[in-house]
Structures are given as structure tokens and as C-alpha cells.
A and B are shown apart, each in its own frame.
Chain A
Amino acid sequence: MKQHYQLAVIGAGPAGLAAATLAAERGVEVAVFDEQAAPGGQIYRAMESIPQHRAGQLGDEYQRGRKMVSAFRASRAKYFSETQVWSLNGRRELGLVRHQQAHMVTADQVVIASGAMERPVPFPGWTLPGVMNAGAGQILFKAHGIVPDDGVVLAGSGPLLLLLAWQYLHAGVGVKALLDVTPMMNHLHALPGLPRALLAGHYITKGLGYKRDLKRAGISTLHNVRSLRAQGKDTLQSVSFLHNGREQKLETSVLLVHFGVIPHTQLSRVAGCRHVWSDSQLCWRPVLDEWGRSSVDGILIAGDGGGIGGARSAEHAGRLAAMQALYELGAMASDAQQRLARNDRKWMREELHIRPFLEAFFRISDDMLQVTDDDTVVCRCEEVNAGQIRAAVADGHRDSNQVKFLTRCGMGPCQGRQCGEAVSHIVAVASGKAVQDIGHYRERPPVNPLTLGQLAGLHPEEAE
């Protein structure tokens, strides 16, 4: 690893791969830092090593990754796998850990392609062992082929939930029920977005296809589910909920939940990039220009980390960010940049047609976002519940950071990754202010694990 690169790309999902490949092809010195063992990100995870028969089960969108990964491998971009970025600042210094050794590396341009994470939504019992994110289940499935053998209950909202159910179905896993907590009213609110969404009709066709397959397989899907609760003594035993006004209960030891995805913003926040609350996506997102430039000089953000747009849109965003970086590095003239950008812009726009519809359709109910049950734990690291957060607000602590100082919510090892969005929301509602004015926790690095020994061993890199 060198001390300095012209371009550092963080993450090797669709956005990172596209950015790094384009920039490297144009002769710029690129380093890609990736947490995974191999390129592909979450969506194209383990792309290069997955057996053919399982790749088949995972659907055709997944295949698209193969092409990206091989183009990236063929480029001259330096790939650093299993590398965690624990810090990034406004001077574009990256703190990294690789093979237990900490490094500091600088770059002229940085593309953050950190992707998305599942939206954590606290509900009663969500911290019980046996309750996990559907994405975590999917990772186990994709990388290790591990599937729960006594069946699962799936609950939540959003397109991935259907996909996951469909994937489990094809792998022969028992799905006891699919509990859709999407409020019925959303169908109405999403209607205005439908005509535009039809322009990206292949997504809708695909979603309907999943639905049809699930129905054929006899998996019961309950819509408009409310008041979801996970129950059990030390581990999950059952799931209770309201359906059509009736209280219901399902025995299960595994509950997979999914409430859509939100941008992974820890790095962009720790770097000092300006963020705004997106009321349609219900999350914080960095303020970006048409190239993906953040408010911090030389830091670009591409893909879902800049706002949820999906894998294909991320590819285009990655390329656009690379074009801007190339321009800044003097490796591409302005008119060439504009010319090259034209198609990516057009395709990205087409990809994004469906977003307003999806966002409105899968919007989570206010009840869940606000965590109306006082006893529900919001910060699982420090075990702070919704009632304590509301009490802090009632006590005059009127933003996320003050509530954090007082209650310790967000101060645990996950650094507020799990509770940041929920706390912003709870505080906003309790204080009658806009989420934007409540703010997010100030990010305190390291944003990834770093030990005292690793920090003590930090030393400037020798040149290669």
C-alpha cells in the first residue's frame, strides 16, 4: 500500500467498480478499499466464487455483476480486499485497517461508494436473538449457503422482502408467512408516481413475477399488518401482530425483517459532508451535485451511499463520479467529460423513474418510524428505549446530540448506525420540529473497528 493515490475509491459494489474501472482505464492511479474478500459489494457478493447452480437461484440481475467484476479485474486499479476504512477527513486522509495493521493514506480525489444498509426499525422484541435483518439472512445464504431448516417468518416492507422470499422459496426453505407491514393507504399515495414508474416497467414486472411465484407455492402473504411484535423469553419464540383488526400469533424461531434500505452515510458524515433529511426516502443523505460532488472539496459520493437508486443507477453514478475525478486530476478535458456523461445521465434518469413510486408505495407507517411503544429499545448497544428518549426531549434536550449526551443512546460500539435515523425521527416528532432541524448524531471516528494496539502501531507508509 502506498502513502498516496490519485484516486481512492471506497467500496467495490456497482458504483465503486464502475468508478475505479473507468478511472484506471484512463490511466489514473486508483486504489480501491473494500471490506469484502472479493469485489462485488452486497448485491454482487461472492460473484466470482459462487457455484453455477446457486447463481441460477439468485436471479438474472445477479449475473450482471460478473461482467462488472471482470472488467474491474482487467483494469489496472489496485484492489485492497478485507480493508476497513475507519476514518476519512476533509483533507482526504483515509484511516485503514488491513490484516490487523492500521494505515493512513491520502488521495487527491476520493469516491465514497459505501452503498446502502438495511433501515433499522425498532419494534417490540426486535433485539431478541432469532430476529435478524433479511439482508443478513441473504448474506448468509449467498456467501455460505446457510439456510434456517425449520422455516422462517418474513416481515417488513420493500422490494427486497419479496426477492428474499422468492430466493428462499427456490432454495427449498420453508417460509411460514410473509407479513407485509406496508400501510394500505400507501397504494393511494403512490399512484401519482405510477405513470413514471411504468417507464422502468421491468422492475414492476419482476416484482409481480415474484409475487405470482410465491402465491403459487402457497406461501401466505398477509398485507396491511400492524403492531408487529417479536416475543420470547431469551430467544425468539413467536411473532404477534394485528391483521384485519384481529390479533394473530405465529410460532417461529427465526424472524427476518426488512424495512427497505438507507444510504450508508457514516463516512460522508465523518468527512464533514453536508447532509439533508430526505422526507421521501426517510433518511439522511449527502448533498451532491450532478457529478456526485459533495460539499467537501475532492470528495465524491456515488451509488446508494448518496441516496437510494439501486444497483444499475449506482453504476452510472460511479462512472459520472470517475469522470469528475478525472477532470479534476487533469486526465480528462471538460468537453470530453460532458460528451462521455451523456449516456450515463440518460440511463441513470431512466433507472430513477421508478423511485418516487417505490418510495411512496413502501413508505413505513408513522407508528413504526416514531416507535410509539415507550418500552421498545431504540439503541441496542446502550439499551436506551423510546420512552427515555422522549423523556429527554420533554426535559428540554432538543436535538439528537443532546439526547445522546444525556441518555448515551448512540454511544455504543455501533456508533449510532442502528439508532441514528430512529432517534432523529423520535426527537423531531416529540419536539414538534422538522427532522432536518434535529440533526443527526455528530459522527465520531473511528467508524469501523480499530484497536488501541492498531492505533499505536500507526506509522507513515514507506513508498512501494
Chain B
Amino acid sequence: MKADVLIIGGGLMGFSTALHLAMRDTRCIVLDKDSPGRHASGVNAGGLRQLNRHPAEIPLSVVAAGMWRHIRELVDSDCDTRFPGQVRVAENQTDLQSLEKRAAMLHSLGYQHEELIGREELYRLVPALARHCTGALICRNDGYGRPFHALDAFRRKARSLGVYYQSDTRVDGVVQDGVEWRVSTLQGEFRAPVLVNCAGAWANHIAAMLGEPVPLKPGAPMIMVTERLPHFIDPVLGAAGRKLSFKQMQNGTLLIGGAHMAQLDLLQERTEINWHKLALSASSVMTLFPQLKDVRIVRTWAGLEAFMPDNIPVIGASVTAPGAYHAFGFSAHGFQLSPVVGRILSQLILDGTSELPIDPFRIDRFA
């Protein structure tokens, strides 16, 4: 089977890329080794966060935020998005100083989306919060979405524009044959002049096939969800001194993440909850919302994500193989970036250049 562009990985990055290419009349094949949304794209915490981004990611994140606001225009669905803001609370003087430093740094770069707020404003926004907090950094137009619904919408829209998708198709080998890439799978050979690596936690294998190994580390951040509760908090809440992400979803459940990692069996692609570490997330919640002590945990899970040593992704053209591109390694915060990353890749592939600065994400930065 042949197309203009062959995309390995049917997650959000893969489908966003396919969608943006298809919108410009490019024929795409998307191959996925599993079912749609099986890994990070389907099971992440769904944060739409500009707050506290790595400086290199800020230009992308700001554009992405605008795209999420109008996501229906792109994928015919609102992806269950909400924009109640995200806050990062300070619980002591040290926390507050680090938030102040962050705000100053951002303002010096010319960004205004992160705003320092005092105690009073914080408790006006989050009255349920324990009383010891001293202030917060807030991004008022941040929010969250439902990842699987977003993936479903991207996939549906891409396919409606002619993108060919095949699940359960693992890539075994990649060779460049003249102007064409030949990708071999158990389900047959696929060919295209352009190859895109969006293979998530397995992207290092594809990169290695292209002769540019990367120090990618798969990891599985744990998430837990509680029973439904009456609405009591609007913004998504994090803390300067803790690994925590806390939000109440549309249906009243609490979604609690915190980047504590599950045990991972990569061979079997199984994750096992590390309860002692997850207990740390529960302890954080107890400190910030002690009234939630008797709330039942309904489910926990951990999805497989790709982490890079510097916690920012690889985005851009291959250095070794002309006609190959990468977008992976989002280090557990790629969901928000997915619309803009697809657009960037489509521009790189069709125009040879991107509207946004992506130099910090070069694949050869680890060499």
C-alpha cells in the first residue's frame, strides 16, 4: 500500500499530523501496533496546561491553547474540554519564592498568561483548599479535556478526510529505497516518500531503525479516580512543592495524578501500581483537602509514555534520513501540544519550515 506520508503511531500526535496533512490534500497512512488510544493518548490525565511549561515549549503551548479553544472547528467535537484555569499553589515561603521567580522569568520573556495571585484570590477561587496556602501561580484560560474522546475526534475527522488507518499493525522494519520508505509489517508492506515517527513510548525503536538512537525512557505515570462527588472545585490544582495534579471532572469524579511512576514490564506492556508511591499522592490530597478522607478510590491506572532526559520532546526532521520526521518524547505533557504539533509537522513536510521555533526539540541534541 502506498501514500504520500506514512505515520507510525495512531495516537494523538500521529492523528493530528495526519489530519493537518489531509487538510492540505496529502494522502496519509497511519499504522498503530495496538488499538486506538491504547497507551498515553487514551489514558493520560487530559490536562490542557500552559502553566509551568518549559520555556522552549511556551510558544507552542500558547498557540495550542488557542487551537483547543476552537477545537470544534478542527475536529467537529469539543473533546469534552473545559477551561476553568489551572493553579499551582504555594504552601510556604520557599514555594512562594519559586513561583515569584517563575512569574518574573515569564514576564521577562514577554508572556502574560501566568499570573501570580495572593492568598485572598486563591481562596476565592478554591474555597475548599486547606488554609495553610500562601498564594499561587494561575493560568486562567487553562483547563482539561477527555483524552480518549479527543483521540476519537481527531481520528474520525482525519479518516473523513481520507486518512487510511490500520490498527494492530506493528512496524518490523524500515528501509529507504531511493525516494521511498518501505515499512514492513506482518500485515504487509507500506510505502511512502515521507515517514513520520509518532510511536510514543516505542519511538526510540523507530529512531534506531533510522540510524539515530535516542535516550528515550518509557515510564508509566499513575493516575487515580474517585467516586463522584458534588461539585466543589473549578480549576485544576497543582502545588509548587509536590508532584500533584488534582481536578474534578465534569461528572463529579476526582482525577488525581502526580507523576509518580508505576512498575513497568515493557516486554509484556503491563504496568503495576506502586501503592507506596501512589500513597504519596493520596497524602498530598489529604494535606490540601483533608475533608476528602473518606472518598472512595474507584480506579487507578498507568499509561505508557515516552520520557526524554530533559523532559521536552523531540520534534522535527531526521538528521540522518532525508524524508523522515519525528514527534515523540513528550514526557507526560503532550496532550495539550497535540494540535499544534500536527500542524508543525505538516508545515515541515509540505513547506520545509515551521511557523514556530522548534530548534530546542532537535533530535541530535543528545549526541
Binding site for B on A (CB under 8 A): 87, 89-91, 93, 95, 104, 272, 398-399, 401-402, 405-406, 411-413, 415, 442, 444-446, 449-453, 455-458, 460
Nearest A residue to B299, CB-CB? A444
B296 contacts A453, C-beta separation under 8 Å: no
Residues of A within 8 A of B293 (CB): 451-453, 456
In the complex, chain B residues 265-279 whose Cβ is within 8 Å of any chain A Cβ: 270, 272-273, 275-276, 278-279
Q: A398-B35, A413-B298, A452-B297 are in contact. List 10 more A-B contacts (CB 8 A).
A: A93-B275, A401-B35, A402-B36, A406-B148, A451-B293, A452-B295, A455-B275, A455-B278, A457-B279, A458-B276
Q: With A and B bound together, what is the CA distance between A152 and B276 in angstroms?
A: 48
In whole Å, how far is A105's beta carbon from the nearest beta carbon of chain B?
11
Can you list 28 A-B contacts (CB < 8 A)? A87-B275, A89-B273, A90-B272, A272-B272, A398-B35, A399-B35, A402-B35, A405-B42, A411-B299, A413-B227, A413-B296, A413-B298, A415-B298, A444-B300, A445-B299, A450-B296, A451-B296, A451-B297, A452-B295, A453-B292, A455-B297, A456-B279, A456-B282, A456-B283, A457-B279, A458-B275, A458-B276, A460-B276
Quote the shortest CB–CB distance from A269 to chain B (angstroms).
12
Give the docked Cα–Cα distance between A460 and B275 (Å): 11
* Alpha-carbon distance A272/B270, docked complex (angstroms): 9
CA distance A246 to B203 in the complex (A): 63
Q: Is B226 an interface residue (CB 8 A)?
A: yes
A122 nearest CB across to chain B (Å)? 21
B: interface residue count bin = 20 to 34
Q: How far is the CA of A55 from the CA of B312 in the complex (A)?
A: 68
Please report whether the interface of chain B is mostly helix, strand, loop or mixed according to DSSP: mixed
Of A87, A90, A398, A455, the residue contacting B282 (CB under 8 A) is A455
Q: How far is the CB of B37 from chain A (nearest CB, A)?
A: 6
Is B164 interfacial (CB 8 A cutoff)?
no
Contact A455:B296 (CB < 8 A) given known A90-B272, A398-B35, A405-B148: no
Nearest chain A CB to B196 CB, angstrom units: 23
Chain A min CB distance to B211 (Å): 35
Q: Please, which residue of chain B has its CB at the minimum distance from the CB of A416?
A: B299
Task: Give Cα A411 to B301, complex, Å.
Answer: 12
Q: Which residues of chain A come closer than 8 Å to B208, judged between CB atoms?
A: none
Residues B135-154 near A (CB distance < 8 A): 148-149, 152
| B297 CB contacts on chain A under 8 angstroms | 446, 450-452, 455
| Minimal Cβ-Cβ distance residue in B for A457 | B279
Residues of B within 8 A of A (CB): 35-38, 42, 148-149, 152, 225-227, 263, 270, 272-273, 275-276, 278-279, 282-283, 285-286, 292-301
- With a cutoff of 8 Å between Cβ atoms, the chain A residues found around residue B283 in the complex are 456
Residue in contact with A406 in the complex, picked from B152, B272, B278, CB distance below 8 Å: B152
Q: Which of B226, B273, B299 has the most CB of A within 10 A?
A: B299
Distance in angstroms between the alpha carbons of A415 and B301 in the assembled complex: 13
**Complex Cα spacing A399 to B19, Å:** 25
Cα distance A446–B295 in the bound complex, in angstroms: 13
Bound complex: CA of A458 vs CA of B149, how far in Å? 34
Enumerate chain A residues within 8 angstroms of B272, measured Cβ to Cβ.
89-91, 272
Of chain B, the residue at the smallest CB distance from A402 is B35
Closest residue of chain B to A408 (Cβ to Cβ) is: B251
Tell me how far the C-beta of B151 lies from the nearest C-beta in chain A, rounded to whole angstroms. 9
Alpha-carbon separation in the docked complex, A95 to B300 (Å): 13
Residue from A405, A450, A451, A460 with most neighbouring chain B CB atoms (10 Å): A405
Residues of B with C-beta under 8 A to A458 = 275-276, 279, 282
Nearest residue (CB) in A for B152 is A406
Cross-interface CB contact of B300 among A402, A405, A446, cutoff 8 Å:
A446
Kindly state the separation between the CA atoms of A401 and B43 in the bound complex, as whole angstroms.
11
A117 to B239 CA separation, bound complex (whole angstroms): 43
Chain B proximity of A71: nearest CB distance (Å): 34
Q: Closest Cβ of chain B: how far from A452's Cβ, in Å?
A: 5
Instruction: Quote the shortest CB–CB distance from B141 to chain A (angstroms).
Output: 27
When the two chains form the complex, which single residue of B263, B273, B286 contacts A452, counting CB atoms closer than 8 Å? Answer: B286
Residue of chain A at shortest CB distance from B253: A411
Which chain A residue shows the least CB distance to B254? A452
> Do residues B300 and A445 form an inter-chain contact, with CB atoms below 8 A?
yes
Chain B residues whose CB sits within 8 angstroms of the CB of A411 once the complex forms:
225, 298-299
What CA separation (Å) do A399 and B167 show in the bound complex? 12
The minimal Cβ–Cβ distance linking B185 to chain A, given in whole angstroms, is 19
Taking the closest CB of chain A, its distance from the CB of B336, in whole angstroms, is 20
